[in-house]
Structure 1
Amino acid sequence: MPPFAYPTPEPTDPSSSREESKSRKRDISCSTADTDHEPSLPVTKRQKVLVQCGNLCYPASRYGGHRPSLPIVNERQAINELAEIWNAGDHSQDEHNIWQLNDFVVYREPGAYRHANELCPVHHLKSEDGINDLLFDGTLSVDNEVRSVQAVPFGCLAIEGYGDESDVVSACIQSSLGRKGNVWYQLGRPANEYARYYDVSRWMFRFAKYVVEFLEDSGPPVTLKLFRRLFHSYVNEKYGLSIATKEWLS
């Protein structure tokens, strides 16, 4: 069998090929010239894009690589150092030693049987099954002195403002070490990742204040039907001009 031979292309006319090539070049140059006169596209304006931080479910101190803004000290050291400053001032009229707690987060203990180390609203303390103690991170301050602490356990929550004509409602927490020195930590500014949790607690604090005052002013017996019918109008009449109350009712 003879070997397979590839087909040989038909010979072309060199002169005709050159003419065809010149014609294509002229067409391309004309096409390019036409595009030079086309209107330019509008310039896209720059736009500012905001990227929001994701919501954390755990305190920042539980993430690897976290760098606190201040050196961390244990609670005992913080109490001893801040007590010197507190005692140097005039607090003879104060019934309790109330220090400020800012940039705080509240979360479950590592040994919790569910949702260990997760952030949670502070009013869940002793109101949900199994939550007898919680932990907090934050900065304790007396005057201008600040101490940063982490993983401080506490089991007591107190709400202030019952019976006051003012609409101000505040909350304090107390640890076992704080109880020995009659020291309370007043909840101030929460950390950014904890703000959405604390907003829920603040709503509950104000609700508790209004309920207690409604019960006191109404006198017994107060039925659920009476509460449903009169509570909203009672709050609106007593605190309706308050901006905080308007936000709470909205």
Structure 2
Amino acid sequence: MKKIFLLMSLLFLLLLQSCTTKKQTLYMQDLDMYANSNLNYTSTKIQPNDILKVDIGDLNPLVAAPFNLNAGISNSQNSVEMMKLSGYLVTPTGNITLPVLNEITLTGLTPTEAELKIKERLIKEGYLVNPTVQVRVLNNKFTILGEVNSPGVIAFSEESISLLNAIGLAKDLTYWAIRNDVKLIREIDGKRLVYHIDLTTAGWMNNPHYRIRQNDVIVVTPNKLKVNSGGVIRDPIQLLGITASLLAVILLIVN
């Protein structure tokens, strides 16, 4: 009888260890506290290895044509991948080379600031009187690794997206994910920054730095049970079944 009691106690302790509490699992448990909060956005800045689409216009399209690298490409050929191949790649020193204007440094500028800089050069150097300039990053992407259902490199077309959008694109976190310490790695102005985000609270939503930008890396760490199991046991029901089977065999041997 004592042996049975001991085995049942061990089973109970094992099941307690395998359980993830509600507090560890649910997202943004204090969301109501942050309702009606003001939204703050920060524009992303151009970085080396960005691929830019730069369109320069004028009231007279023929005058602006020499400043556009892809002026001869028809709209039917303007797929995103084609635009990437023919776009302006920002060099490690932060420059692109525009037709006529030649080399211009754009790193550290937002797309809006880059537009203004190009426009000022066109006017100052006497090329165009009242030009229009549009700058857009074509290769926005982020990397998400660890305990998500669809890890990998994911592209997005917006200037930035929310962390929840990024997790949604990765098809949500797994059951085994540590939700109160999601790591966000970002490179800005030659520095690598690491943010630690607690998804069980909504407080992080008020920080504009936690919006996902191009080249961000999100790392979701597995919990202790997943690490200890070496990835062999992936489901609590599976763990319960294995434990129950072992207990049954031991009871048969004891009896």
Which interval holds the TM-score relative to the shorter structure?
under 0.3
Q: Larger C-alpha radius of gyration, 1 or 2?
A: 1
TM-score normalized with structure 2 length: 0.22
More RCO (CA 8 Å, sep 6+): 2
